[in-house]
Amino acid sequence: MMLPAAWSILSVLLSVTGVCKEASANKQEPPVVKVMFVMDQRPDDPSSDTLFYPARRLKWSDFRGTPSRGGPSAAVAFTSFSYEGSSLLRKDTLQITLRLQVFFIRSASWVRGGSMDSYSLAHEQLHFDITYLVARRFMNKVRELPLTKEDFDSMIQYEYLESFREMNRLQEGFDGETRHGTVISAQLDWNRKIARQLEDIGTGP
């Protein structure tokens, strides 16, 4: 199960640095805007509350939160994605660097006693995979944007929010069609679908 959108983490830190001597408007061409993505691939740190994708696959020992008292879920995986950014203006080029983070929060993720089987863990892993898939799609969308010096930050934030909504729709659809993993045939269909889409979208930066 995926937690509600209101609980997810949004990290949008964009700052423009650099010095540029402005010429008169009729003599200066608008700067060329280039975007570079860097995937945050920090190795697993067992003492940390955060596990970054794709350091490794999930383990039940990662689920350190307290289970809710009710509800249909045997386990909950808190996964999300965010980005941090900076930009540097040099002569006629605005270089934007975005660090993309796909993560799992251990203290907000939980599992009920008696539910720690490999099938249920694969269901929670697929929630993490779906989050990564949407983050990769967000990356591709930003690369295709006609960004400008004046409004690149708002354009990127808009695509982030749209992708965040897409992530929640997919997570809810996954839990709904599989009935939180209890419909095995639907679970297998989602496994194949997400694996195929991840293969199609690639794993490069």
Q: What's the per-residue H, E or C state across 43-94?
A: CCCCCCCEEECCCCCCCHHHCCCCCCCCCCCCEEECEEEEEEEEEEEECCEE
Please tell me the total count of domains within the chain.
1
Q: Pairing state of beta strands 16-17 and 75-76?
A: unpaired
For residue 75, what pLDDT is reported?
A: 97
pLDDT tens for 66-109 read 999 888 899 999 999 999 999 999 889 999 999 999 999 999 99
**In the chain, which ranges are E strands?**
12-13, 16-17, 32-39, 50-52, 75-76, 79-90, 93-105, 110-111
Q: How far apart are CA 61 and CA 51, in angstroms?
A: 12
Say if residues 190 and 178 touch (Cβ distance below 8 Å).
Answer: yes
For the purposes of burial, counting CB atoms within 10 Å of the CB of 29, is it exposed (0-12), middle (13-18) or buried (19 or more)? exposed
User: How many angstroms separate the Cα of 83 from the Cα of each of 101, 107, 118?
Assistant: 6, 21, 31
Is the pLDDT confidence value at 14 over 90? no
For residue 27, what pLDDT is reported?
A: 53
The overall pTM is greater than 0.75: yes
For residue 161, give every residue at least 6 positions away whose Cβ sits within 8 Å of its Cβ, in sequence order, or none.
Answer: none
Say if residues 58 and 132 touch (Cβ distance below 8 Å).
Answer: no
- Domain residue limits at 67: 5-21+29-201
